[in-house]
Amino acid sequence: MGRKKAAELKNEAYFTDKNYKNILFTDFVEDDELNWLYKHTEAYIFPSLMEGFGLPGLEAMSHGVPVVSSNATCLPEVYGDAAEYFNPLNTDDIAQTINAVLKSKPRQSELTTAGYKRIKKFSWKKMAKETHNVYMSVFNV
């Protein structure tokens, strides 16, 4: 792994000090390793406070991973009913929401199914066409 930022090292030290298990801190990972991580995870947790769009959660959905996400900014609009949401400023809510999903195989299955449906609404080709249409409308073509 590459060089870690001071904040990442501080977080890792905190979790180690608390003796928390099964938390993996990574730097950049290659595609093969990323695919392995998705295949061997029970849920993708996205505690973001600010996002422009939220591609990481959609990527997790495309791998069949249930998404547990912050309810901040655009994320509920992007993920719709294909994610379970928490308030990213409330650690109790974060923990309770993650636990609820991890303890419920039926809910994980529902989120996985909804995720596969949700990602069909997004594609690079569709985005390119829509962007092109906006440009053409601006230029009155």
Contact assessment for residue 54 and residue 79, using Cβ atoms and an 8 Å cutoff: yes
Q: Each residue of 45-68: pLDDT tens digit?
A: 999 999 989 999 999 999 999 999
pLDDT value, residue 37: 93
Judged against a pLDDT cut of 80, whether residue 139 lies above it is answered with yes
Return all residues near 35 (Cβ < 8 A) that are at least 6 apart.
63
Of 90 and 124, the structure prediction assigns the larger pLDDT to 90
The size of the chain, in residues, is 141
Q: Select 41-138's CATH number: 3.40.47.10, 3.40.640.10, 3.30.9.40, 3.40.50.2000.
A: 3.40.50.2000
Q: Each residue of 67-118: pLDDT tens digit?
A: 999 999 999 999 999 999 999 999 999 999 999 999 999 999 999 999 999 9
Task: Give residue limits of the domains in the chain.
Answer: 41-138
State the Cα–Cα distance between residues 93 and 70, nearest whole angstrom: 10
* pLDDT band with cut points at 50, 70 and 90 for residue 17: confident
